Amino acid sequence: MSPDQSTKTMKAIVWEGKPFHMAIKDLPIPQIKDPNDVVIRITTTAICGTDLHTYRGVAGSKTPPWTMGHEGIGTIVQAGNGVKSLRTGDRVVAGVICCGYCDNCLRGFLSYCLTFDPPVDVDLPGLGSDYGPDLGGTQAEYLRIPFADSTCYKLPPNPSHDLDYIFLSDIFPTGWFAVDCSGFQPGDTVAVFGAGPVGLLAAYSALLRGASRVYSIDYISTRLQRAASIGAIPINFTKCDAVAEILKVEPRGVHRSCDCVGFECLNENLEPEENIVLNNCIKVTATTGGIGFIGEYTPRSGPTAGAPLRTGKEGVFPVLTGLWWAKSLAINGGVAEIRRLQPTLQRLIESGRAKPSFVISEVLHSLEEVPGVYERFARRQIGKPVVQLAYDDHDREMGGGG
């Protein structure tokens, strides 16, 4: 990077620790810090439900501010001299950071890379220093990615599929992983709790993989309409007991269920009740069936500057353990194995079998619009917002190379 480039700034969406407020700031453009780094120019990014936990002040690192976002596609504008499989001009998906050589990475648990010292729950941009030091975020014009050879997923030069590819960075693998965690087999019946973007893609994944029936449980009419449009059976849990409604059709229960909501669960009165979805999964799943448990349940306790409205009780609640035991239900979940699933899901997109972009509700073209979109997304007035950025290459290209 030339000396004048090191002083250039970029636009970025920043969490400052103020609930229900996102700021847009001018920040220094990130620079190569290690030979295995790349810097990418973000071309497509998105707001995730995980980002909303931060926006609502109940999840995130201890010390704001930090740049938001972990879903992104970008073009490499600089590559460290240790990067072997990538070069400037390559288009890549950004996401979970994985070194490729630690014990967890070698065993295939790339989302639980141990490279940072001390190890963090998941090495993810956009969540602050507790999730990996100085990772930045994808809701910005540029992003530095460490361990680029392992972390980046290379895309074809043609951007025609980018509104589908953006979901390779998180929510399509996460929805697919929810179905994996449930122990799904073709022909199974499935209940998916939550019809937000991840829940919709879990229902979609189950249908793609040969589910005989998929029930989609939510209360937002536009979400349920979208679920019906892909062939799922929509159930509004504010208008009926969702478990009882499913058991009318599936008296022994469904073979599989998925929790795609997480700790900000609501009951039929739209009041917070953190254990309701997991307990409903236990109730509705047939004996010897399985539950995919991938809604986010933050394990971090107590309020901090980065999550001032956290109570410290999140993730601690009573569960129907006796019923779970008696039914011999398998429960599996956690952070999705995003990097491992990306090649499979890319092939489904390129073959025309999968089009995850059906979840998109709005496509924006400026980061300046993002703070207001957070507000509408948090109020569930929109489904899944995506941002595509346009650049003048003469003005924005940073140059450099590996």
Mean pLDDT of 151-177: 96
Tokens standing for residue 367: 């980061």
**Residue 61: strand, helix, or coil:** coil
More confident position, 367 or 59: 367
* pLDDT value at 302 more than 80: no
Mean pLDDT of 6-23: 92
Helices (H) and strands (E) in the chain — how many of each?
13, 16
- Beta carbons within 8 Å of 4's beta carbon, 6+ residues apart: none
Of 26, 142, 129, 61, nearest in space to 94 by CA: 142
Q: Are 170 and 237 in contact (CB under 8 A)?
A: no
With a CB cutoff of 8 Å and minimum separation 6, the contacts of 379 are none
Q: Is the peptide bond before 65 cis (omega within 30 degrees of 0)?
A: yes
Which structure tokens are listed for 155? 């895309």
Q: Return the pLDDT at 170.
A: 96
Q: What share of the chain has pLDDT > 90, as a percent?
A: 83
Q: What confidence score (pLDDT) does residue 400 get?
A: 40
Beta bridge partners of 67: 14
pLDDT at 392: 55
Q: What per-residue confidence (pLDDT) applies to 130?
A: 85
Tokens representing 37? 């780094």
Segment 335-352 mean pLDDT:
96
Backbone angles phi, psi at 7, to 5 degrees: -100, -5
Q: Which residue has the tokens 């392992």?
A: 150
- Whether residue 391 has pLDDT greater than 80: no
Please give the Cα distance from 129 to 137 (Å, whole number).
11
Q: What's the average model confidence in pLDDT over 257-282? A: 96
Closest CA to 217 of 203, 235, 238: 235
Q: What residue ranges in 320-399 does DSSP mark as E strands?
A: 330-333, 362-364, 385-388
Work out the angle between the directed axes of helices 338-350 and 171-181 (0-180°, nearest 10): 110
Distance between CA 32 and CA 54 in Å, rounded? 28
Question: How does residue 132 score in pLDDT terms, banded at 50, 70 and 90?
Answer: confident
pLDDT of residue 300: 61
| For residue 4, pLDDT beyond 60 | no
Q: Looking at per-residue confidence, does 167 or 305 come out higher?
A: 167
Model confidence band, residue 3 (pLDDT cutoffs 50, 70, 90): very low
Q: What is the DSSP letter of 156?
A: -
Is residue 239 scored above 70 in pLDDT? yes
CB atoms near residue 33 (< 10 Å): 12
Residue 6: per-residue pLDDT: 57
Q: How confident is the model at residue 397 (pLDDT cuts 50, 70, 90)?
A: very low
- Quote the pLDDT of residue 7: 62
Provide the CATH topology of domain 171-333: Rossmann fold (3.40.50)
Higher pLDDT, 312 or 233: 233
Cβ proximity of 265 and 277 under 8 Å: yes
Mean pLDDT for the stretch of residues 265-293: 97
**pLDDT (0 to 100) of residue 72:** 97
Unique residue bearing structure tokens 């994996």? 180
State whether CATH 3.30.470.10 applies to domain 5-170+338-396: no
pLDDT for the residue numbered 165: 98
Sign of CA dihedral 121, 99, 144, 119: positive
Q: Which residue matches tokens 């129907």?
A: 320
Residues 6 or more apart whose Cβ sits within 8 Å of residue 34: 80, 82, 146
Which residues lie below 8 Å from residue 297, measured CB to CB, with a gap of 6+?
Answer: 262, 263, 314, 315
Domain boundaries, the chain: 5-170+338-396, 171-333
User: Smallest Cα–Cα separation from 162: which of 75, 78, 223?
Assistant: 75
Average pLDDT estimate for 159-183: 97
Peptide bond into 35 cis (omega under 30): no
With bands split at pLDDT 50, 70 and 90, how would you rate the model's confidence at 199?
very high
